[in-house]
Structure 1
Amino acid sequence: MFKRLPGDEARNLVTTTPDTAVVFRPAVVQTPAILTLIIFAWRVLTGCVRLLWRHPVAVLLALTPVVLTLVYGWRTALLLLAPAPTGMLAWALTDRHDFVRLIGLRVLAWWRLVWVYRRHWQSVMVVSGLGRHLWGRDYLPQLGKVTCTAWADLVTVRMLKGQSVKDWADRLDHLAQGFGAASCRVAVIRGGRLQLTFPRTDPLAVPLDALPLPDVPTVGPVEIGKQEDGRPWRLKVHGTHVLVAGATGAGKGSIIWSTIRALLPAVRADLVEIWALDPKLMELSYGRALFGERYAATPEECADLLDQAVTVMQERAARFAGVLRSHTPTVEDPFILVVVDEVAFLTAYQADRQLKQRISAALATLTTQGRAVGIGVMAALQDPRKEVMNIRNLFPDKIALRLDESEQVDMVLGDGARDRGALADHISPVPERGAGVGYVRLEASPDPVRVRAAYVSDTDIRDMAAAFAAGRDAA
């Protein structure tokens, strides 16, 4: 009457009434107790070996007091072990920086590896979809080394066969929430290996005051702020072009004025000229004395100044042809930085079509041919769409400050930048927390770097202009 089933028999079918669903009584296999004890002992042994292999120093530190106490007694063990912690404490009090770098961060990395990442690794991988459960077995990406810096955890991971970087980039929010971090970034180390960055603190949360003027004239890279890892942010302006994009109040002025401030000693030495285009009549007008005759405000003046820059570029190119391949700033041929505030007003929103075409053509000419002869362009805009700024790909170095939409991040920094952790659309709109904070993607590196530019106040700008004018008069 019933079909014979694997692991059960028809006589084991249980039912109460004819319309009740058939209930199957599964077969029970009884495992001998000795086999269970052997399996348990094997797991304990392999766990101890794995613990010793992964954490030899920690195991040694834990077993040493126990062994000394059993062999020599607790008094002798205390006398032998007391100098080590006493010396470590003295080292921490006298040289905190080196102690934290050599000991503290290593201990923190071990603790984070054991308590945070290894403890939650399986559940986070499975729930986020980065792990697979097939035929009763879990296939998980391999957790590698954890390194702690002063502000973040750097976690190396070996991907599963067949996974791609995009699989991880699409789940950055899952990873951040799973491991209790505010955000997560992914970078490729080499084939099959990734590095995940989980910030523990935000070193860029506090605004930076204006940096002091350099003692030695330089054309760059110039220091204009700080990177997330604590190192100075040095922006290359000579030999490249820089595009700065950000919403209103994102801090574009901080980048522009910090760059001008860092170049000011070179301007005094006649090694640099700054040509300013200020169609809004708001940002660059504060330091008009710094630019002299190289300042333009109306669209007509901006077009004339750009045409003049093109003329200088072509004259230099004719002189350098066959003689020089790269420019070295001199008094006769200084480096020229053309600063354009709100370039979209000149290239997209300008009502005069003829002026618009002149300006667009001049900017395209400068960005394609100006680097080799010592003319650079730094342009700032709010809307990075292609129809607004159709030459944005001619800028090798790009900076994305706070943006309104996630799609705009890739428009500014290039495809895949947001997947690699450039969350410019998540930057806080509160000026104290987010003004001047952004992500930089350089020509030589596809990975974005989080930075913050120093804030140059109106008073700082006026003092710079007054000091510059006084120096010119004295000379």
Structure 2
Amino acid sequence: MPNTSRKPKWEFRAIRWSVQHPGMVAGPASLASALGVGVAQLGVPTTGGITAGAALGLAGWYRGHPDSFDTTMLPRLRAWHRRWLTYVGSRWRDILDDCGLTTENRRTGELVVPRILKVRSASPSIDTIHVRINRGQTPELFEERATALANALLAERVAVVKVCPQVVALVVERENPFTDEAIPPVELVHDIDGVDLSAIELGDTEHGQPWTQSFLGQHLFVAGATGSGKGSLLWSPLRGMAPLLRAGVVKPDVIDLKEGMETEVGADLFHRRAIEWDDAVETVELFRDEMKVRQAELRSQGKRKFTASAETPLRLLQIDELGMLTAYGPPAEVRGVLKLLAEIMTQGRAAGFSVAGYVQEPTKDTVPVRELFTARVCLSVTSQNQVDMVLGDGMRLRGALADEIPLDPAHAGIGFVVEQGSRNPLRVRASYQSDQDIRELVQFVTQGRAALRAVA
């Protein structure tokens, strides 16, 4: 059969495009059909009123409950906008062609462009583009051209993730929403009533809103390489709880097996502080024993959960470099500590006993109790698979590029979280706590305690 240079006519190309993009065709077609039926059955005024009401409802949702709108509707609208205005048509073709990611059909000479299957935009600054690659191409080819793709897309970086045979995901970080300047610590609140333990401010989100974390019935897991900013997430919760620390409504213990270097400046804040192995084991044991006593007291009073007060304070156990306690100590004693931690983390919720662990290596071998932590933060880590270890399967594919965060002071404290009720990663940055900020916190708490004792 002779070759021909004739291409299919526009109507056949349109049919093929419609088959390849059913959502783009079905959505407007369904909307047009609904409007047509509405006009025919209800009349123009009624149909117009319903349409206007729906638009006003969306506007009211946007204005009245921004959290649910931003979580549910905004990612869909943003993905649609990006798909059809940014990653579209000739622009997409030219970008891939310039980056050497197109192929030529040997029989027809036609340029074959890897096709976009879908776009997800859970974050304002990160898009995930699922692409069906051409026959003969490999995910490794796209990885080699990732830097060129980032430059062509005017993005900070592009990561390539294999989804399934012949499909890759391009995770496009369009911009870094945080500047090189550190986020200052929150202002110290003097009034106990101004502190909500279910929403302690830790820093900012990429939306420019306060990043908050509950410490009621939650166990916090923070993973990050050296220099990623884990220390900020040890001190920020304490600063947010300052009036409650002063009044004895929160009593923190700390284990710092790095010779106490991280916590020395704020040592007076803690009910117990352990910097040696034997003291650390004893601290965990005493913490567990206090939990058992609290459980017995609540049971005798017929209560199912505690209320934070000076009589029944929230007890918080912070463990800096958790791996030193759960993996690198004497094997027999490590097993005992793991058993105690598992007991605390499975039973401490109702009694008001919480654990916050900070670790560099988040593998199961290092932290066997990792799955018992209910809230997780992934700062800059050293490998791709650590992101999913910390945040859950598929989180890197959804845009949590924690392994791409540079390890330098300008990016310290930047990481990702997955909020409860959501499957989308949220980029956050912890507020920076200098030694002077910590000393200010210690002075605020200790002088306040002395004043309260004097009054009593």
TM range (shorter): 0.5 to 0.7
Q: What RMSD over aligned residues (CA atoms) do the two structures have, in Å?
A: 4.5
Give 1:179's match in structure 2, choosing from 149, 153, 167: 153
Residues 265 and 131 of structure 1: CA distance in aligned 2, closer, same or farther (over 3 Å): farther
Residues 111 and 450 of structure 1: CA distance in aligned 2, closer, same or farther (over 3 Å): closer
* Cross-structure match for 1:283: 262
The secondary structure found in structure 1 opposite 2:241 is: helix
Deviations 1:348-382 (A, max 9, x none): 222x3443233222211111111121111001111
1:251 aligned onto 2:229: yes
1:408 aligned onto 2:397: no
Matches within 5 A, 1:286-435: 286-291=265-270, 293-321=271-299, 323-350=302-329, 352-431=330-409, 433-435=410-412
Residues 354 and 363 of structure 1: CA distance in aligned 2, closer, same or farther (over 3 Å): same
For 2:427, the aligned partner's letter is R
Please report how far the alpha carbon of residue 254 of structure 1 lies from its aligned counterpart in structure 2 after TM superposition.
0.6
Report sequence identity in percent. Answer: 31
Measure, in 1, the Cα distance between the counterparts of 2:424 and 2:118. Answer: 22
Please report how far the alpha carbon of residue 115 of structure 1 lies from its aligned counterpart in structure 2 after TM superposition.
6.8
1:457 aligned onto 2:431: no
Measure, in 1, the Cα distance between the counterparts of 2:86 and 2:420. Answer: 39
The secondary structure found in structure 2 opposite 1:224 is: strand
- Kept after mapping to 2: 8 A contact 1:402/1:438: yes
- Kept after mapping to 2: 8 A contact 1:244/1:381: yes
Residues 145 and 369 of structure 1: CA distance in aligned 2, closer, same or farther (over 3 Å): closer
Residues 273 and 181 of structure 1: CA distance in aligned 2, closer, same or farther (over 3 Å): same
Measure, in 2, the Cα distance between the counterparts of 1:339 and 1:121. Answer: 49
Give 2:186's match in structure 1, choosing from 173, 193, 211: 211
Measure, in 2, the Cα distance between the counterparts of 1:415 and 1:110. Answer: 27
Please report how far the alpha carbon of residue 334 of structure 1 lies from its aligned counterpart in structure 2 after TM superposition.
1.3
Please report how far the alpha carbon of residue 320 of structure 1 lies from its aligned counterpart in structure 2 after TM superposition.
3.2
- Kept after mapping to 1: 8 A contact 2:198/2:216: yes
The secondary structure found in structure 1 opposite 2:367 is: coil
Greater CA radius of gyration, 1 or 2? 1
Measure, in 1, the Cα distance between the counterparts of 2:391 and 2:216. Answer: 20
Measure, in 2, the Cα distance between the counterparts of 1:332 and 1:301. Answer: 26
Measure, in 1, the Cα distance between the counterparts of 2:212 and 2:103. Answer: 40
Measure, in 2, the Cα distance between the counterparts of 1:240 and 1:200. Answer: 32
For 1:180, the aligned partner's letter is L
The range that moved more, 364-373 or 320-329, is 320-329
Residues 130 and 414 of structure 1: CA distance in aligned 2, closer, same or farther (over 3 Å): farther
The secondary structure found in structure 2 opposite 1:370 is: helix
Deviations 1:160-199 (A, max 9, x none): 8xxxxxx9xx98948645522114699xxxxxxx998653
* Cross-structure match for 1:84: none
The secondary structure found in structure 2 opposite 1:238 is: coil
* Cross-structure match for 1:22: none
Deviations 1:23-50 (A, max 9, x none): xxx6x89x9xxxx9xx89xx9xxxxxxx
* Cross-structure match for 1:121: 92
Deviations 1:389-415 (A, max 9, x none): 111111121111111222222222222
Count of residue pairs the alignment pairs up: 370
* Cross-structure match for 2:163: none
Measure, in 1, the Cα distance between the counterparts of 2:336 and 2:81. Answer: 61
Please report how far the alpha carbon of residue 251 of structure 1 lies from its aligned counterpart in structure 2 after TM superposition.
0.8
The range that moved more, 354-363 or 448-457, is 354-363
- Kept after mapping to 2: 8 A contact 1:116/1:179: no
* Cross-structure match for 2:165: none
Deviations 1:440-468 (A, max 9, x none): 13454332221111110011111211222
Question: TM-score by structure 2 length?
Answer: 0.67
1:199 aligned onto 2:178: no
- Kept after mapping to 1: 8 A contact 2:217/2:350: yes
Residues 173 and 211 of structure 1: CA distance in aligned 2, closer, same or farther (over 3 Å): farther
Measure, in 2, the Cα distance between the counterparts of 1:321 and 1:177. Answer: 62
Residues 184 and 302 of structure 1: CA distance in aligned 2, closer, same or farther (over 3 Å): same
Deviations 1:126-168 (A, max 9, x none): 8898999899897944778999x9x64769x8988xxxxxx9x
Residues 195 and 209 of structure 1: CA distance in aligned 2, closer, same or farther (over 3 Å): same
Residues 407 and 298 of structure 1: CA distance in aligned 2, closer, same or farther (over 3 Å): same
Residues 112 and 440 of structure 1: CA distance in aligned 2, closer, same or farther (over 3 Å): closer
